[in-house]
Chains A and B, each alone.
Chain A
Amino acid sequence: MTHRLISDTSEWSFPLLERYNAELGRIAADYGLDTYRNQIEIITAEQMMDAYSSVGMPLGYKHWSYGKHFVQTEQTYRRGQMGLAYEIVINSDPCIGYLMEENTMTMQALVIAHACYGHNSFFKGNYLFRAWTSADAIIDYLLFARNYMAECEERYGEEEVELFLDSCHALMNYGVDRYKRPSPLSLDEERRRQKDRESYLQSQINDLWRTVPVREAAANAEVTPRFPAEPQENMLYFIEKNAPLLEPWQREIVRIVRKIAQYFYPQRQTQVMNEGWATFWHYTLLNTLYDQGYVSDGFMIEWLQSHTNVVYQPSFDSPAYAGINPYGLGFAMMRDIRRICEHPTEEDRYWFPDIAGGDWLKVLDFAMRNFKDESFIAQFLSPQVMRDSKLFAVVDDDYAADLEISAIHDEKGYRSLRQALADQYNLGSREPNIQVYSVNQRGDRSLTLRHTRYNRKPLGDSANEVLKHLHRLWGFPVRLETVHEDGRVELVGECPRRFEF
């Protein structure tokens, strides 16, 4: 069958790329992968670092922090401490995948399989991406954002914009609607609305402050309805709509940062699944390519070597250990689901009665579409995978003198291990739960945030720095309170400071 070999050289060329892509696309379609159109772009290493440092945004606006990331990336790359990311793929329609020119033909094929069919189909299928991002509009929106920022810099000065962006970035993770679905982005609409918004917003905000501030004593005595009536989780949204002193252009920037945060929100919640899915599919597609005789043994050995590096999970006591490798875990789980469908054991039938022995393509597709990391692990992490990777849970409690092993990969431990690991991927428990609690409308106009403690975890030291940024956005004093598990409320931060803590 050697006559079917697509290539036997490590040098890539455009015709070869096209042939590989055509074959991979054919096989992907056979497996039923539903993808956006692909746009494959060949770039240099420098361009890759560039894309990498602006968090994969192909048209990022300018900011020093991207320069910092670029410098970091460049250094580790030059020193050879780190290979560059194989690929960067943009969740857009058409789905843009970057291939680095330095890669060999084999690596290019690997990246095409991984990014252009793996990630691409995930972007198109997963419910979070479907709900939160508009793949067809993102490039236009980024372009709009970049031009808008440049315009602001020209008008109000680079430094002004930069400082303001710093503050927005500090709160980026709190610029996300977790429950409400955002309206789809569209460049034209955005442009058209932006002008109206400026004037409209300004009038809205002033309304909030129409009451002339009265003396503090009177304000405190009077019982006024709390504003906002419900705690607000989306701080940037709250600021955009309610911060009293912001200029219209500043509100627009808050909005841009918020929109971009929202765009990346699904990616942060589906790391294990997304990478696991893409890794599973490059593995499957390339193996199929081999089975059909399109590629040689050398080709297989080359990509398998880097595949192995990618999914390698060092154990906890290894110097290379840096937490659980999402590629490794995701890949293991995806393969395990296929195994459960194709070759179920007694245990599998007990744990997964509805999928054991089912059609693996359908089950995987269902899993990909309807879960995020947290629920995916809670649903599909099997005893087999826990045993294979010898998972164990350590409880670190500051009330106890010692660490305690709370569960290991045994019959008693499976469920609690699975629950703990799922929780580890729950953004809600990974990030402190902080919400906008109230605004003192009649007094000093201060903004109060409430942090609700989860498992008694305190806030990190950077909280006060973040408060300074929030203060810049809000323009009046900001306070941060912590609600302890017993309901006690404690003031833990303030800007500007009145007391020492």
Chain B
Amino acid sequence: MTRIIDRRLDGKHKSAVNRQRFIRRFKGQLKKAVNEAMKSRSITDMDSGEKVSIPARDLSEPVFSHGAGGHREIIHPGNKEFITGDRIPRPPGGRGGGGGRQAGDSGSGEDDFVFELSREEFLELFFEDLELPNLVKTELAKAPDYKLVRAGYTADGIPSNIDVVRSLKGAIARRIALAAPYKARVQELQQELEALLATVAETDPRVAALEEEIERLEARIRAIPFIDTFDLRYANRIRQPQPTTQAVMFCVMDVSGSMDKSRKDLAKRFFTLLYLFLQRNYERIDVIFIRHHTVAKEVDEEEFFYSRETGGTVVSSALTLMKDIMRERYPVSSWNIYVAQASDGDNWHHDSPSCKEILVKHIMPLVRYFAYIEITPDRHQSLWEAYEEVRALYPYFALQQIDGPADIYRVFRELFKRRLS
């Protein structure tokens, strides 16, 4: 007696729980492996998972077993030339002839345990305990931002909110209501008039009196206004508090001639990380890419990272453009604004003071966090000095210097490490 059951539709990922537990348990080792992997990895392929390895001994499950040594007799198949009593030199490392199954058991203990993290798991580990700084998940009670929602109609309001259909409906009702008594009276009088005309001549004074009365009543009906201020109805909108979790990230990068290819590459990596980070953390994020040399330009992501352009350097051009975009499109009441800027610190000398001025006057009051990374192994130049003055005024302005690819991750962590508020 046999039953055949199709189990294929049963729950998938039954092992997911065990896998998660495995990852949780070895988080420490995995994180280390992920950090190692980040050092050599090109950031642009962040879309894939990562193969990580953990020293196998860290996750071994120990059991009592025999160690090497003692007397053992092991059977092997496939004899070719041995006869009883032959002596064979011990193979180095204790493997081979005498090893057999035993070696198979213990030998695997030395290899690393290699396995593949999915992209999600990789990013989870990579971005763990990171958070955009100072992001206030605005509580409902203190919401600085409101959204207007419809809530019926009111009798007063501004002309642009007049609801025409509703107002005219009201007007019709009013006209019918006001005219009703007159109309009834008119009907009565007309019937009376008809009855009278059947008996008397048209010239009868009573006829004239009735006609006059009807005329008077109809005039009253005509005098009822087609529309009255009383009829007007306005769409009612009430303000509902809205939590702000939307953020806009400005990525500003110097693509001038002084930024050579490797520097650009570093900056690209930095932004790629930021971009991924934002994508992961927020429901709604706008990312604005501004690249600049002597003039600044707002570009799309593709162009930001991959198109080539060179020229001199005027950093203030980018700051001015950014200021304008903020003003026009990202009111501070509903957006958390973050800025990340990458440059080699090389700027037209006389431009640095104006950079400072734009920052202090127009930009810093609006943003929540401003991160500036300078990609140079050299001494700092005028821009850094100007920015240091800004930092003195605003604690949420951060500067970091990057020397090589290995620094990126450190700086990234540094900039965005979870702040204890």
Contact A316 B97 (CB under 8 A): yes
| Binary CB contact string for chain B from 58 to 94 against chain A (1 if under 8 A, 0 otherwise) | 0111111111111111111111101111111110000
Q: CB < 8 Å: which of A17, A71, A318, A391 contacts B22?
A: A71
Q: A-facing mask of B235-274, CB < 8 A → 1, else 0?
A: 0000000000000000000000000000000000000000
Q: Binding site of A, secondary structure by majority: helix, strand, loop or mixed?
A: mixed
Say yes or no: B21 contacts A64, CB within 8 Å.
Answer: yes
8 Å CB contact of A392 from B14, B63, B71, B76? B76
Question: Which chain B residues lie closer than 8 Å to A42 at the CB level?
Answer: 4-8
Which of B2, B71, B82, B101 lies in contact with A457, CB distance below 8 A? B71
Q: Do A21 and B79 touch across chains, with their CB atoms under 8 A apart?
A: no
State A109–B22 Cα separation when bound (angstroms). Answer: 36
- Give A396 to B17 CA distance when docked, in angstroms: 44
* Contact call B106/A460, Cβ cutoff below 8 A: yes
Pick from A392, A401, A454, A458 the residue with the most CB of B within 10 Å: A392
Bound-complex Cα distance A372 to B1 (A)? 28
Pair B84/A465 contact, Cβ less than 8 Å? no
* Per-residue B-contact encoding for A388-426, CB less than 8 Å = 1, 0 else: 011111111111011111111110110001001101100
Q: Is A190 an interface residue (CB 8 A)?
A: no
Bound Cα distance A429, B389 (Å): 77
Does B308 belong to the interface (CB within 8 Å)? no
Known: A38-B3, A405-B85. A67 touches B20 (CB 8 A): yes
- B124 adjacent to chain A (CB < 8 Å): no
- The answer to whether A67 touches B21 (Cβ under 8 A) is yes
Instruction: List, in ascending order, chain A residues with CB within 8 A of B20's CB.
Output: 67
- Residues in A whose Cβ lies below 8 Å from that of B64: 173-174, 431-432, 434, 451, 459-460, 462-463, 466
What number of A residues sit within 8 Å (CB to CB) of B?
98
- A112: nearest residue on chain B (CB-CB)? B2
Q: Tell me whether A395 and B17 are in contact (CB under 8 A).
A: no
Give a binary string over B1-38; 1 marks a CB under 8 Å from any A CB, 0 the rest.
11111111010111101111111110000000000000
Q: Is A444 an interface residue (CB 8 A)?
A: no
Instruction: Contact check, A94 vs B65: say whether CB atoms are below 8 A apart.
Output: no
Decide: B3 and A40 in contact? CB cutoff 8 A.
yes
CA distance A451 to B85 in the complex (A): 32
Q: Are B73's CB and A323's CB within 8 A?
A: no
Q: Do A17 and B4 form a contact, CB below 8 Å, given A323-B100, A395-B72?
A: yes
The docked-state distance in angstroms from the alpha carbon of A420 to that of B19 is 41
Interface assignment of B133: CB less than 8 Å from any CB of chain A? no
User: At the interface, yes or no: B306 with Cβ under 8 Å from chain A?
Assistant: no
A403-B88, A431-B65 known; A67-B79 Cβ under 8 A: no
Q: Whole-angstrom distance between the alpha carbons of A410 and B23 in the complex?
A: 54
Please tell me if the beta carbons of A405 and B75 are within 8 angstroms of each other in the complex: no
CB-nearest residue of chain B to A313: B77
- Pair A66/B15 contact, Cβ less than 8 Å: yes
Selected interface stretch from A46-54, A80-88, A298-306: A46-54
**Would you give the 0/1 interface string for A454-477, flagging 1 where the beta carbon is closer than 8 Å to chain B?**
111111111101100100000000
Q: Which of A147-201 contact B (CB under 8 A)?
A: 158, 162, 166, 169-174
Complex CA–CA separation, A54 to B69 (angstroms): 33
Residues of B contacting A220 with CB < 8 Å? none
Note all chain B residues with C-beta closer than 8 A to A399: 71
Whose C-beta in chain B lies nearest to the C-beta of A459? B67
Report how far A49 CA is from B59 CA in the complex, Å.
20
A315 vs B64: C-alpha distance when bound (angstroms) = 29
Contacts of B97 in A (CB 8 A): 316, 394, 396, 403
Bound complex: CA A46 to CA B84 (Å): 49
Out of B1, B4, B84, B116, name the residue touching A407 (CB < 8 Å): B84
CA distance A143 to B263 in the complex (A): 60
Distance to closest chain B CB from A385 (angstroms): 10
A34 interfacial contact with B, CB 8 Å = no
The answer to whether A459 and B65 touch across the interface, beta carbons within 8 angstroms, is yes
Which residue of chain B is the closest to A322 with respect to CB atoms? B104
Q: Would you list the 10 A-B pairs with minimal beta carbon distance, nearest first? A: A315-B78, A67-B22, A67-B18, A457-B70, A323-B101, A396-B98, A465-B62, A316-B76, A456-B70, A462-B62
Between A and B, 16 residue pairs with Cβ closer than 8 Å are A37-B1, A47-B12, A50-B14, A54-B18, A64-B18, A64-B24, A67-B22, A390-B77, A392-B79, A393-B76, A399-B71, A403-B89, A456-B71, A460-B67, A463-B62, A466-B64
Q: Enumerate chain B interface residues (CB-CB to A < 8 A).
A: 1-8, 10, 12-15, 17-25, 59-80, 82-90, 97-98, 100-101, 104, 106, 113-116
